[in-house]
Amino acid sequence: MRFETRAIHDGQPPDPVTGAVMTPVYQTSTFQQDGIGRPRAFEYSRSGNPTRAALEAALASLESGRHGLAFASGVAATTAVLNLLGPGDHVVAGEDLYGGTYRLLEKYFGRWGVKTTYANAADPAQVAAAFTERTRLLWLETPTNPLLRLADLQALAEIARARKAWVAVDNTFASPYFQRPLELGADIVVHSTTKYLGGHSDVIGGAVIVSDDALHQDLKTYQNATGAVPGPWDCWLVLRGLKTLALRMRAHEQNALRLARFLQGHPAVERVYYPGLPAHPQHELAKQQMSGFGGMISLDLKGGFPAVEKFTAGLQLFILAESLGGVESLVCYPPKMTHSSIPPAERRRRGIGDGLVRLSVGLEHADDLEADLRQALGTGSF
């Protein structure tokens, strides 16, 4: 069955007891057992809960994986994957990555002896050169946050496979509607379901999707042992979001494309980062490995931070806030918000300049969004 159909039905049949069409919120911590040593399908909601099971099955289906695991947040999902490693293990990570992932690698896993080398994942040769004898994991985002660079997943998966390392892809920006890393050779997909999958800025959640049974067993044991699981209400919210994911992603993309074109021609804008623009250096790769370009745009404003301050203060519709992927348009300043945990010198080295602004293009009418950008850019002394 096709994506739209699976998003609505997979893992979510009508409730077997009542026939409820929408998966019920099983707000219970524990489940009756038929006798000692004779539990039914569920025992205790940290280990498993029917609402969570529905979400996990749906997520696995949408990512073309065999197993899904839901977590309390995206960083909890990331932590679960990083805990597959042990002291002495080495990670190669794309250098343009979510600030919270960088913080986990540097501040927490580093002190347990897991070392990370960062490479520009847009350049497979650089990634290959970063591998050592001890490399067990290649961690990628594509498109990246916030520079919207792409990593060639097929090429990089081959490099990692030859060196017996897992490839994990944080697929939060593209969503499975536009990109399915497991189909391109990745072993592990991670999501912040807080973003497009939930889609309505009303829940924090995360997920890991894999196909390998042993990997799934390890991660599931970790999920139960450490307990960073989402409650049934949160699972239900993400499940409801999934049902309209295809529709929303198409609309996010349509609006983003329109705004990217508008910004590209604006005199106050130094540069626009959007994989859907032919001017994007990896536009061809985007067309190959993604079925759409998503709803995230970054731009460099002429005039650095003072211009950014005027621009963000002038916006009426775009809300200044962290996060992305909701129905409402957001604007964020990565250097001081999402990426503030990366030291300034390191940030600039990675290409995140002082004039960089990130837009999460929502589902408002494109005319209104463009008018808002136009008036806010007009307020600057560019």
Q: Does 79 bind ligand PLP (CB under 6 A)?
A: no
Q: Taking CB under 6 A as the rule, which mask of x and - marks residues 145-184 in contact with ligand PLP?
A: x------------------------x-xx-----------
CB of 193 to ligand PLP, least distance (A): 7
Report d(CA 334, CA 49) in Å as an integer. Answer: 36
Q: Does the annotation count 46 as an active-site position?
A: yes
> By C-beta, is 198 or 303 nearer to ligand PLP?
198
Tell me the number of residues near ligand PLP by CB under 6 A.
15
Q: What mask of x and - would describe binding to ligand PLP in positions 127 to 146, judged by CB under 6 A?
A: --------------x---x-
Is 302 annotated in the active site? no
Q: Which CB sits closer to ligand PLP, 198 or 380?
A: 198
Q: Residue 196 catalytic? A: no
Q: What is the DSSP string of 228-242?
A: -PPPHHHHHHHHHHH
CA distance linking residue 208 with residue 69, whole number of Å: 5
**Catalytic site residue from 52, 136, 149, 195:** 195
Cα 129 to Cα 58, 165, 279, 328: the distances in Å are: 37, 14, 28, 41
Contact (CB, 8 A) for 242 and 7: yes
Q: Dihedrals φ, ψ of 71, to 5°?
A: -125, 170
Q: What are phi and psi of 246, to 5 degrees?
A: -60, -50
Cα–Cα distance for residue pair 190/70, rounded to 1 Å: 10
Q: Which is nearer to ligand PLP, 80 or 246 (CB)?
A: 80
How far is the C-alpha of 34 from the C-alpha of 38, rounded, in Å? 5
Q: Least Å distance between CB 173 and ligand PLP?
A: 6
Of the candidates 262, 68, 276, 313, the one whose C-alpha atom is nearest the C-alpha of residue 174 is: 276
- The residue within the footprint of ligand PLP, chosen from 23, 49, 51, 73 (CB under 6 A), is 73
Residue number of the CB closest to ligand PLP reads 74
Q: What is the pattern of x (binds ligand PLP, CB under 6 A) and - over residues 92-131?
A: ------x-x-------------------------------
Which DSSP state fits 277? S
Question: Interacting stretch for ligand PLP, rule CB under 6 A, among 69-77, 207-215, 239-247, 373-381?
Answer: 69-77
Whether residue 50 is preceded by a cis peptide bond, meaning omega within 30 degrees of 0, is: no
Main-chain phi, psi angles of 206, to 5 degrees = -145, 170
User: Under rule CB under 6 A, which residues in 191-250 are in contact with ligand PLP?
Assistant: 192, 194-195, 204, 206
Provide the binding-site residues for ligand PLP, judged by CB under 6 A: 73-75, 98, 100, 141, 145, 170, 172-173, 192, 194-195, 204, 206
Active site residues: 46, 98, 170, 195
